[in-house]
Chains A and B, each alone.
Chain A
């Protein structure tokens, strides 16, 4: 079978699997968030923490709960790292230095999983298991709660209540993430991913050196790494490591996992707003863009660039021979489109335009289909923006899902679309202006060096977590700047989205008539795609010309 046929089969199989689970999982999640009944174990939690599960919160209270929870998470994760040497299961590793500990805590709480360190050489089992893995669940769940609150903002009328953060969080973890994680772990173990508490294996490498490869609870970590669009690997090599991602089937399953919730959540959205077609339209936008970026990345990688790759026959530097170009490009496109940031190949070694595609994919704001929850709410914000311009063009005060888009909504939407580009560009600009930060760049004589810095801040600001490896990011400046970028890029938009949800929920729905802009039809889908590409493309185009385009054209 040719590479192309095999590659297309993989993509087709992936889409087929997602299509099969789309309805049941989407419907299941809709029931989870609309059910009035608590599970026994949930009631226990609520009693333990004194949560009134029947209390509906305003957007402000919802946001305060979320921020308080995340702040505590940040602190706990920071302390676990700083104190790891004195805690059990440290594998004898020392305490983590403060800058790195802050960066890592911010990274995992912000669902980014940027790793400035080599995990197996820095974090013991306790930090990995009780710190990072726990945050992989919780930070993913936090994103989901925000998406659900926004959906309720559209679905509800004349109320200032958006639901209960603690209930949404608990249900996400217990009813959605955990069950899928358990099944997924078993599947991954069956496919050959390791799952143990071993301190390490002594192996002799091909060149005859002896090397210790630590084992650990890899499969369970791996599942939530993908499912929660986290991306922080157990090993530094991430999903390129054979213990994390042993074969083509495991590879495809991991891609399936990272797309699973963001894709199915559009169904949940359609169901909860009472119009499934709206969910299809959003999914259509996400799928089209994802497919386009996957196609572009694959094309750039298989065509190769430069004499070296052409002489070698393929752009295989930094890619696993187990996966090849198609599966590497498919993984790269899916991981950058979902804010996951797990990698099965080195993005830094992609062809300039292939790597640029991954970079640009993140710049879209992680909405294709985006992170768990964050992808949906990000896309809905862009849909509101699209509706605003389109709505004016049909001669009415713009409305989306029966809610009017007035000055207040536009204020929040405008701030939202302003936040991430500001974080990314200002961050990258400071880094390029500082000699100490520039010193981290290895490829100083080429635009690729700039691409690496731009990639770092794009990845942090958009909460992706993947990296162009060519800069040594474990220095105080990057640890601090990227840590702040991750926190700002995560929580400022979240507050704005919750405020938007609150503002929408208060409104009285307007009736749908012939004069209403239909937001479930192809024309709107096309326009939303255009807005996603143009609004983000225009913002980053100057920076992209100096990075990947300068290198690749």
Chain B
């Protein structure tokens, strides 16, 4: 922290430029006061006056330091990104199919470029031909390569990333200078930072409080003159600076920058601060079932044999039929047979006579032929047809097992065998979605925060309902099409709700654009990334929940420090007013409840406290106040206690302690 402060000092000093300062009205007033006091201190010097002048300037510098430190964190990240943006030469395809070399900066929308293994992709675009593994660590920090292929939802590539294998043709979708990396650099550096709506509203309030205190201060001299007290400009400036909300004024922009930064730390890029704030306001979360609520795929949960077949027989057959099945479902069957039934996993090479039957869309079955034994597994209908074609019969018991699994929301896979031309069903494998650990607790927290969770799935209503209940979401949308999703968002928004969702496919794009917070997966298409207002570089849909929390934390930090700042004023009055007027009206010394040493030490203590509290709160501003999901009432109670009551009490203690030290300074009365 100390080193951060030290390295940011030059930036902080540069920000003293009044043209920069004027953007922050509260601190601008402090700077104007500091300039005026400096002029007076030069013409009429004194220990007391110079102490005030120095601490007024420190107040301004501390405020700038807070902002500079916040920006500094982003700058380091921007440096890394800039390195990724090295000048590359693109191999552009001309109309006649020939290649020409052009600098990446001259690529236009719609250009087609060829990238081969070892080359850097020259610009953002979609893969239109080929498939390649790409190293995206430059932007995501994730070293494992990812697959990018033409068509489908994994077609987007980002300029500055590196193709590791194969050859792809990329259609450029952004102009040079507006690429993803360019925007990312601007974002993390805070260069394109615009004030968010709540920040603007808060700034208005702070400006008006500043004006109120300005009026309270500039009207004071005529009142004081009547009391026979002559108030110097320096003292008035000191009073004013203590009263205006400098604490929050100094930290406000640092809080905003740090909020964006916290998102970047989690590999989420918000295209606007507005979106981050909206995330805190979200009423409804639309969560895709797969990957967000459940683990990516269904897994085998149990084997249910028909009468006359043992568990082990069924497990054995199921395992055999799945040995060559490399789908996650297939692997899970092998794993279940091993873990649940103690069957050693066999390898395809161990069965020399085996012929594996691959799953096809026509047969909708897969399996294996070992010698004269045929084993098949697949959807109930398909396997039934096969059994009958092999001269076997299907009995009602099997049908009941199948229906039972379907009714519980699972997927039944029937396993059957044919030995010597005689076919029979062995039993059913129960495949089910596995809900990620801890989801139910998270949804409970969301509910406590007043956020409704809606699960979106392509499954039928029965399956969807079962999973929704298990995961504890509030509602679900089954057999969802992109149009359904869009309709749901619009319906929620009509009721005044703010909706957040994640998406990756091109067909998600309209819904992503319609949602108040649309988080596009980085693995998704360019269309989705364009439509959303955030991009998750990790492509982790669960992160939506974290984004909401960061949005809330941002607002809470602002509100809490505003409360703290205003509550601080009470103690400062008790320090300064008796110091100013107790000489004229001795009774007012009773307001000197802190028993400060002298009027001069009282005023300096208040000013020093006012400046130091900014530095002391920088870490809190950058980190954000502690946030625990809970109801609004509970949150308000806690924050009001900590920052409201704390804000009342702390300065009494702080100013008293400072006064004890400052009273030792020679030259002060």
Q: Which residues of A contact B (CB under 8 A)?
A: 385, 388-398, 402, 405-407, 409-411, 413-415, 417-418, 421-422, 425-426, 428-430, 432-433, 438, 447, 449-450, 454, 508-511, 513-518, 521, 523-524, 527, 530, 534, 538-543, 545-546, 549-553
Contact = CB atoms under 8 A, between A and B. Distances in A.
Contact of B281 (A396, A438, A517): A396
B633 A411 contact: no
Given A414-B208, A511-B495, A550-B227, A393 B588 contact: no
Interface in B355-375: none
Interface string B584-602: 1101101100000000000
Given A392-B198, A421-B215, A534-B566, A517 B636 contact: yes
A538 B208 CA distance: 14
A546 B449 contact: no
Contact of A418 (B198, B212, B225, B578): B212
A433 B225 CA distance: 9
B205 interface: yes
Given A391-B559, A421-B215, A515-B631, 7 more contacts: A393-B639, A396-B555, A402-B496, A447-B585, A517-B636, A527-B644, A553-B591
B226 A449 contact: yes
A393 B570 contact: no
B342 interface: no
13 contacts: A388-B205, A390-B559, A405-B201, A407-B200, A418-B212, A422-B215, A510-B283, A518-B633, A523-B633, A523-B637, A542-B223, A550-B584, A553-B587
B37 interface: no
Nearest to A544: B577
A461 to B, nearest CB: 12
Contact of B556 (A394, A418, A545): A394
Contacts of B563: 389, 393
Given A513-B450, A515-B451, A516-B450, A395 B635 contact: yes
Nearest to B554: A395
Interface of B: 197-198, 200-202, 204-205, 207-208, 211-213, 215-220, 222-227, 239, 243, 277, 280-281, 283, 447-452, 495-497, 551-556, 558-560, 562-563, 566-567, 569-570, 573, 577-578, 581, 584-585, 587-588, 590-591, 627, 631-633, 635-637, 639-640, 643-644
Tell which of A407, A430, A517, A545 has the most Cβ of chain B within 10 Å. A545
B636 A523 contact: yes
Nearest to A510: B496
A314 B19 CA distance: 62
A438 B226 CA distance: 9
Contacts of A411: 204
A428 B556 CA distance: 39
Contacts of A402: 496
Give me the 10 closest cross-chain CB pairs, A-B, nearest first: A392-B559, A515-B450, A513-B450, A395-B552, A414-B208, A514-B450, A553-B587, A429-B219, A393-B559, A550-B585
A411 B448 CA distance: 32
A534 B644 CA distance: 11
Contact of A429 (B223, B450, B554): B223
B509 to A, nearest CB: 25
B222 A432 contact: yes
Contact of A394 (B225, B590, B632): B632
Tell which of A392, A395, A545 has the most Cβ of chain B within 10 Å. A395
Contacts of A425: 215-216, 219
Contact of A450 (B226, B448, B553, B570): B226
Contacts of B558: 392
A429 B223 CA distance: 7
A393 B219 contact: no
Contact of B588 (A409, A421, A513, A553): A553
B581 A397 contact: no
Tell which of A391, A421, A553 has the most Cβ of chain B within 10 Å. A553
B283 A511 contact: yes
A516 B552 CA distance: 12
A396 B278 CA distance: 8
Nearest to A537: B570
A429 B217 CA distance: 11
A428 B560 contact: no
By secondary structure, the A interface counts as helix
Tell which of B212, B220, B497 has the most Cβ of chain A within 10 Å. B212
B632 A517 contact: yes
A549 B591 contact: yes
Contacts of B243: 538
A426 B451 contact: no
B646 to A, nearest CB: 13
Contacts of B644: 527, 530
Given A393-B563, A394-B636, A421 B212 contact: yes
Contacts of B631: 514-515
By secondary structure, the B interface counts as helix
A411 B584 CA distance: 39
Nearest to B578: A545
Given A509-B496, A517-B636, A518-B632, A450 B573 contact: no
Contacts of B239: 542
A538 to B, nearest CB: 5
B204 to A, nearest CB: 5
A63 B585 CA distance: 47
Contacts of B226: 432, 438, 449-450, 546
Nearest to B558: A392
Contacts of B277: 397
B208 to A, nearest CB: 3
Nearest to B498: A510
Contacts of B562: 389, 392
Tell which of A410, A411, A433, A514 has the most Cβ of chain B within 10 Å. A514
Nearest to A533: B570
Contacts of A396: 280-281, 552, 555, 632
Given A432-B226, A538-B243, A414 B559 contact: no
Given A397-B280, A447-B585, A534-B570, A539 B216 contact: yes
A396 B627 CA distance: 13
A392 B562 CA distance: 9
A443 to B, nearest CB: 11
A523 B640 CA distance: 9
Contacts of B635: 393-395
B644 to A, nearest CB: 7
A550 B224 CA distance: 11
Contacts of A429: 218-219, 222-223
Contacts of A449: 226
Contacts of A517: 632-633, 636
A404 B93 CA distance: 53
A473 to B, nearest CB: 17
Given A389-B563, A449-B226, A541 B573 contact: yes
A410 B201 contact: yes
Contact of B581 (A395, A426, A540, A546): A546
Contacts of A388: 201-202, 205
Contacts of A450: 223, 226-227
A429 to B, nearest CB: 4
Contact of A550 (B197, B447, B587): B587
B305 to A, nearest CB: 47
B497 A510 contact: yes
A422 B216 CA distance: 8
B281 A397 contact: yes
Given A394-B635, A422-B215, A511-B283, A414 B207 contact: yes
A406 B201 contact: yes
B216 A389 contact: no
A159 to B, nearest CB: 15
Nearest to A527: B640
A430 B215 CA distance: 12
A297 B494 CA distance: 52
Contacts of B632: 394, 396, 514-518
Contacts of A552: 587
